[in-house]
Amino acid sequence: MKWKRLLPLLQGELVYPGRVSHLVQAPDAKRETVRIASGLLSGVAAAHGRAFLGIPYAAPPVGALRWRAPQPIEPWQGERDATQTGSPAVQSVGQGRFAPVAGSEDCLYLNVYTPPGMAPIGGWPVMVFLHGGAFSLGAADNYDPSLLATEQQVVVVAPNYRMGAFGFLAHPALAAEQPDGGSANFGLLDQQAALRWVRDNVAAFGGNSGEVTLFGESAGAWGTSYQMLSPGAAGLFHRAILQSGVAVDPLSTVAAAEAQADGEVFAERLDAAGRYALDRLRALPAADIARAAPIRRGILGPGSWGPVWGDAVIPEEPARAFAEGRYRPVPVIVGTNSDEGRVFGLGILSRADFEARVRADWGRDADAVLARYPAETRSEAQLAFASLITDARFAHPADRMRRLLAGRAPVYGYRFDDVEAPFTIPHPWAPMPMRAYHAGEIAYVFGTRWVLANPARFTPAQARLARRMRDLWGAFARGEALPDWPQFTRAEPVVRVFSPDGDRTETDFATRYRCDFWEARLG
């Protein structure tokens, strides 16, 4: 198996069908009915919480609705079963005619998890989680937020959204067809539709639509930071948590005009050029589109997908908009993991491969980068590449984001530093220690099993760390003070370090991750 096909598995962002809340199988689970604007939902309630799964929040984006803004859902008659998750978005693991394809275009569903019992007067705070997966892979049902909901007394909502070409294809014909925006940003529009659904319906589940925290990991964090900029998301959330991803990474930001030119090439490769390009594209089987390799640069660099700026959805280049205050300031947590790049380093096959990747990615700065991250052997090259990715793609952008936001609203920084975080991918696919790897904090924030980690393997110290993190995420969502976590300021760039040995604060994050070096090259 080629490493490029294995990498999504190593990132823990494959779809694993049937991963639903344990509440559905709880011995004491009973049916519970809730009425929302679209009709009646029949979910489950147990002593440890309630779950309502597979709720449609927009019309299926199929047929003529492929590559259009999400449309309102049609009401249904009778009770709709809400004990099974909806289909994840269509996605391909790799490219080429034989690459496996999972999911469906009919994917605009969300899951709702609540504490047990009656909500307090005014309702529980709400946390909306955007899943990761490089805007190409993953699903809301890869995660079980039920413990977070019950333990922290919050409602957690987890939506799917369109990904890959279906969510982020740019094309001049799409821009002309939808002048109000949407070309290359359909996935962001889906996220906004889910937030509007929360605004209009979460009170039925005991949630307070005036206390919404939007949070996400990896691509979900990128999406969250883009929503801070988007006019269409105004007023739909009131706090944000960015776990390992920010929209000010210049290697992941693409102008609409550039993306549309790449989209024309993408369409031509699918024999969909000329006047009727969109008709041809909309007539193609979903699997053919999912398997086709992207042309433009997304959040993982060349050949990946992601949002663009320069349309009505994201009007301005993100770093400039944040720097000049053209966004909606909300309290925000911005954090990274100490060893984000370790999973990416597994893809380096040799010293020569490492140098080739650096020269392809960094061009005229390649010699300086190679000098700063020296390596001779394959193992050294893997570690050097891992360090480079950690610094350039995660740590430096997070530090930059915190500095841009500081002063306009409360900002909190963190570094997840459990160097023995559980990692379930076996040797030989993980020949070096993964330490505090990309996505390693997810099992701590949710406290439930997912693709890469099982909290049942936590040591007592790790279990206490996980509880501290959940308590802080919950306190933040409730608008409470965060114990022993000073705000980040430009004068005092304090970052909280999460460790099983006991948390601490530090102010040398920028030095630790060579931020001056990358600022000189990336801005």
Residues that are catalytic? 218, 340, 438
Q: Helix, strand, or coil here: 463?
A: helix
Cis status of the peptide bond prior to 428, with omega within 30 of 0: yes
**Are 510 and 516 in contact, with CB atoms under 8 Å apart?**
yes
DSSP state of 52: E
> 351's torsion region: left (phi>0), alpha (psi -120 to 50) or beta?
alpha
CA distance 101 to 95: 10
Q: Could you tell me which of 370, 365, 413, 364 has the C-alpha nearest to residue 388?
A: 370
Question: What one-character-per-residue DSSP string does 236-296 give?
Answer: S-SEEEEES--TT-TTS--BHHHHHHHHHHHHHHTT--STTHHHHHHHS-HHHHHHSPP-S
CA distance 448 to 21: 9
3-state helix, strand, coil in the chain (%, to 5): 35, 20, 45
CA distance 328 to 311: 18
Question: Buried (b) or exposed (e) across 437-446, using 16+ Cβ within 10 A?
Answer: bbbbbbbbbb
Give me the helices (H) in 365-395, please: 366-372, 378-389
Element (H, E) at 192: helix 186-201
Q: Could you tell me which of 493, 499, 496 has the C-alpha nearest to residue 483?
A: 496
Any residues with CB less than 8 A from the CB of 123 and at least 6 apart, and which? 155, 202, 203, 206, 207, 208, 209, 211
Question: Buried (b) or exposed (e) across 294-328, using 16+ Cβ within 10 A?
Answer: bbbbbbbeeebbbbbbbbebbeebbbebbbeeebb
CA distance 8 to 232: 31
| The residue to which tokens 């696919």 are assigned | 429
DSSP state of 2: -
CA distance 2 to 485: 43
| CA quadruple 416, 3, 165, 257: dihedral, nearest 10 | 80
Neighbours of 491 (CB within 10 A): 8
Any residues with CB less than 8 A from the CB of 144 and at least 6 apart, and which? 19, 20, 21, 22, 446, 448, 449, 450
